[in-house]
Amino acid sequence: MYKVGIESADNYRLETVKETLQKCFADIGLDPSNPLSGIVKPGDKVFIKPNWVASRWRESCPHKDNLYCVITHPSVIEAVTDFIVEALQGKGEVMIGDNPSIDADFDELMQFTDIRRLEHKYDVPVSIMDLRPLVCDDLANYGKRDKMVSHSGDPNGTVEVNLGKESMFYGIDPARFRGVFDERDETIASHIGETQLYTFSKSLYDADVYISIPKLKTHQKVGATLNLKGLVGSVTNKNQLVHWQIGYPEIHGDEYPSKEAWEAAQTAKVTHRGSWPGNDTIWRMVVDLYQAMQMKERKYLSVIDGIIAGEGQGPFCTTSKNANTLIAGEDLLAVDLSTARYMGFDPQRIKYLAHFINRGIADYQNIQVLLNGEVRKDFFINDSKYKDFYIVEQWRGIKK
């Protein structure tokens, strides 16, 4: 039985966040006196992965809201780190990092969040990492590999995982696959036959404990971005991540829903490639990343930051929603299923979640959700809208 705790919190004061997380941890059966001692052991290397997708609002966003409806709030990271350090008992290491969008300004992000102060707060080493090997310093060059700037990336290197026949792309013609760059040769070469490659940050992949702290928000390519979709930030070679197949259904693409939409995009200033429920590609990538992580034994914890959440046009242009919520659990998939339902969605209508449900890997009967300390046996099957997140029009079908 996987337990998921959902508790209310109405502000980001550190003491409020810690008190609320203690309730979440009690919900899922952790020791209230030292909550993470059952997950983190002295001497462990612990990797914390927040959602640091952006450092500012993109100019293409129709509004400029609170940036914390897009990225994880530092007080949630700090609260979790406090609990980790308590469990480490002076022995071990904490790494906090992400592979943000290639155009994010990491220095700007660090200044905005003031998170680097955690490197000097504790009696164990804490390091903040920008895991990107390439950076785009001008959004006008987005997608052009030769215009990217080399970056140091993960100081501990990378780990390559080949999913082979287990990949959701095995048996699919890769000719139309599109990764982060216009140059698609590398994307295609990474997904041919039994070669199904993903290159992870070694610091993240080899850690004894992986702690995911995503933002509670919607996503116009997959519906909702939580723990599993957040694994995109664990991969250092983003051109291996297949986001869509170029074109439209009549020519076996899923970049746009029709030829007319594809033609209109050729001259549009802002495009939304792959941003519709008919994208039959990106959910496969999400499943692959989760499967690749599962190939190595490690401990997990998820803490979802939903005090200020993001609804609407995610992941970059969400609108603030005061969801006043923190969510925790030890199983990433169980937390994602529970959180999607809490957002007012039907997990069965979100393709990457539906895959695990349909394969019998995920079963509502094996998930116990506690909502503000109360066991909700009908959590998945009742008609409640819960937080009733707004979703862009083409995604309305995932609503419960």
pTM attached to this predicted model? 0.97
Q: For residue 278, which phi and psi values (nearest 5 degrees)? A: -80, 0
Average pLDDT over residues 262-279: 92
* Confidence tier at 270 by pLDDT (50, 70, 90): confident
- pLDDT of 63 > 90? The answer is no
Count CB-CB contacts under 10 A for residue 156.
17
pLDDT at 68: 98
What stretch of H or E contains 167? none
Q: Which CATH architecture has domain 2-155+197-235+281-398?
A: 3-Layer(aba) Sandwich (3.40)
Q: For residue range 118-148, what is the model confidence (pLDDT) as tens digits?
A: 999 999 999 999 999 999 988 888 888 888 9
Residue 268 has pLDDT above 90, yes or no: no
For the chain, the structural domain boundaries read: 2-155+197-235+281-398
The yes-or-no verdict on residue 220 having pLDDT over 90 is yes
Query: Burial, 337: exposed, middle or buried (Cβ in 10 Å; 0-12, 13-18, 19+)?
Result: buried
Using N-to-C axis directions, what is the helix angle for 351-358 and 282-294, rounded to 10°? 50
Q: What is the pLDDT of residue 217?
A: 98
Nearest Cα to Cα of residue 225 among 76, 352, 102, 64: 352
Task: Give the pLDDT confidence of 373-386 residue by residue, as tens digits.
Answer: 999 999 999 999 99
pLDDT tens per residue across span 10-21: 999 999 999 999
The pLDDT value recorded for residue 339 is 98
Average pLDDT for 263-288 = 94
Banded model confidence at residue 366, pLDDT cuts 50, 70, 90: very high
Asked whether the beta carbons of 36 and 84 are under 8 A apart, the reply is yes
Cross-strand bridge partners of residue 197 = 162
